């Protein structure tokens, strides 16, 4: 049996009638950028997240970058980021001309460790950028307590956790702002690049609306040096369809994750996902760790099972940040994750028999290592 890591056909087939209606509505409108579809999606997504405002932008990286720019973060400023994350989190800080200050992650959740943040704060620190990684919410209650103590802004990187909850509240509404990615592989995925910012701050939302559109409220009247980062009408129309089923599809992911946790057998060196009691994850990824990760991946590949490594190179060891002076050993928990993590197939259209084959093949592979 072949089990792909991601299934892009299943979502389309399930929603084809609704997507076709949305596409035809968009095409007949003859309005392609910053129109009614985007305005309506912004309203619907803000309500979904529990935020007052949503501003659609080009992608998740630009969402984070524009928040920092709108806050005035720039040269000589510092932003605290997790050691373990996709490099886009760090790049958002670099694009703002600020300095990334990595803080080690919690070895159990892979998210930013709140207990280590305070030691990284300096007079130049302006913001904290926690990531809700793999669909697991970061401990925002403790992170916000540190931020409030030191007068810092907090922007959530919510690229992977649309619909997750921390202490009963949805991610995307827990900080002063949040950046969202709707890259096709996300839980709420568009059919191309797309992103958004959510916030309760009316002034911040207004600034980002200006920044995303060349620094302009009115065409040809540019107030500031802005950017071209606009969520287009077609993606907005299609995202509105998928938003309606997001909670249902997240529940399907949870069913598969719980089955994996129940039926996959423990073995020496194998680490399964850990979920804190206050967290309600949405299982964007199901990530295990094993010291013989590469051998495990090969065995699963031979069994017809698609897997991916998120992420094989820690950001601080990448060529992009070679000039920062980080070395191997700077962030051992993140480095260990890069060397040992493996993501297994999980998604709302993974069939029961496919999940069963993943479990069977995984148990056999682990036992043979």
pLDDT in tens, 59-73: 999 999 999 999 999
pTM greater than the 0.75 cutoff: yes
How far apart, in whole angstroms, are the C-alpha atoms of residue 345 and residue 362?
A: 11
- Predicted local distance difference test score (pLDDT) of residue 55: 98
Q: What pLDDT, on the 0 to 100 scale, is given for residue 294?
A: 98
Q: How far is CA 191 from CA 9, 23, 37, 239, in A?
A: 12, 12, 15, 8
Write the DSSP assignment of 230-295 as a string of letters.
--BHHHHHHHHHHHTTHHHHHHHHHHHHHHHHHHSPP-TT-B-----TTEE---S-EEEE-TTHHH
Distances (CA, A) of 344 to 144, 274, 302: 32, 15, 14
CA distances from 175 to 5, 138, 178 (A): 32, 11, 7
Q: What separation in angstroms does the CA of 280 have from each of 137, 196, 221, 346?
A: 7, 22, 45, 16
CA distance 199 to 50: 9
Look at residue 24 in the predicted model and tell me its pLDDT: 98
44 falls in which pLDDT band (50, 70, 90)? Answer: very high
Q: What average pLDDT does this structure show over 91-111?
A: 98
| pLDDT tens-digit readout, 4-15 | 999 999 999 999
Distance separating alpha carbons of residues 39 and 246, to the nearest angstrom: 19
Instruction: Report DSSP state, residue 114.
Output: G
Query: What is the predicted pLDDT for the residue at 200?
Result: 98
- The pLDDT > 90 percentage for the chain reads 100
Which of the four pLDDT bands, split at 50, 70 and 90, describes residue 100? very high
Q: How much is the pLDDT for 75?
A: 96
Q: Taking all residues of the chain, what is their mean pLDDT, rounded to a whole number? A: 98
- The band of 38, judged by pLDDT with boundaries at 50, 70 and 90, is very high
DSSP string covering 190-234, please? -SS--EEEEES-HHHHHHHHHHHBTTEEETTEESS---B---BHH
Local structure of residue 175 (DSSP, 8 states): S
Would you state the torsion angle of the CA atoms of residues 326, 331, 335, 341, taken in this order, to the nearest 10 degrees?
A: -140
Kindly state the average pLDDT of the residues 314-334.
97
**Each residue of 152-208: pLDDT tens digit?**
999 999 999 999 999 999 999 999 999 999 999 999 999 999 999 999 999 999 999
What's the CA gap between 6 and 131, in Å, rounded? 22
| Percent of the residues in the chain that have a pLDDT greater than 70, as a whole number | 100
């Amino acid at each position: 049996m072949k089990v792909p890591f991601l299934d892009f056909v299943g979502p389309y087939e399930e929603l084809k009638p609704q997507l076709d209606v949305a596409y035809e509505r968009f095409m007949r409108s003859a309005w392609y950028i910053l129109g009614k579809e985007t305005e309506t999606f912004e309203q619907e997504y803000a309500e979904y997240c529990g935020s007052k405002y949503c501003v659609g932008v080009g992608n998740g990286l630009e969402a984070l970058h524009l928040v920092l720019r709108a806050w005035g973060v720039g040269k000589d400023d510092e932003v605290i980021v997790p050691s373990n994350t996709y490099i886009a989190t760090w790049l958002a800080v670099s694009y703002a001309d600020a300095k990334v200050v990595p803080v080690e992650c919690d070895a159990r959740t892979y998210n930013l460790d709140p207990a280590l943040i305070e030691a990284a704060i300096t007079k130049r620190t302006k913001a904290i950028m926690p990531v809700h990684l793999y669909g697991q919410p970061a401990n925002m209650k403790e992170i916000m307590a540190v931020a409030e103590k030191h007068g810092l802004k907090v922007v959530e990187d919510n690229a992977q956790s649309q619909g997750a909850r921390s202490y009963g509240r949805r991610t995307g509404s827990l900080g002063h702002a949040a950046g969202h990615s709707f890259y096709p592989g996300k839980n709420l995925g568009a059919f191309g690049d797309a992103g958004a910012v959510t916030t309760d701050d009316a002034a911040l939302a207004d600034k980002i609306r200006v920044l995303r559109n060349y620094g302009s409220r009115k065409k040809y009247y540019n107030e500031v040096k802005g950017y071209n980062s606009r969520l287009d009408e077609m993606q907005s129309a299609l995202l509105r369809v998928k938003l309606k089923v997001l909670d249902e599809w997240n529940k399907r992911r949870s069913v598969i994750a719980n089955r994996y946790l129940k039926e996959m057998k423990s073995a020496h060196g194998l680490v399964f996902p850990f979920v804190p009691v206050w967290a309600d994850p949405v299982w964007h990824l199901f990530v295990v760790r094993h010291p013989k990760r590469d051998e495990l991946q090969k065995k699963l590949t031979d069994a017809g099972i698609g897997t991916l490594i998120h992420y094989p190179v820690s950001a601080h060891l990448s060529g992009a940040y070679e000039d920062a002076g980080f070395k191997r050993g700077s962030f051992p928990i993140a480095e260990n994750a890069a060397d040992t993590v493996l993501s297994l197939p999980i998604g709302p259209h993974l069939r029961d028999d496919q999940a069963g084959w993943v479990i069977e093949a995984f148990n056999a592979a682990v036992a043979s290592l």
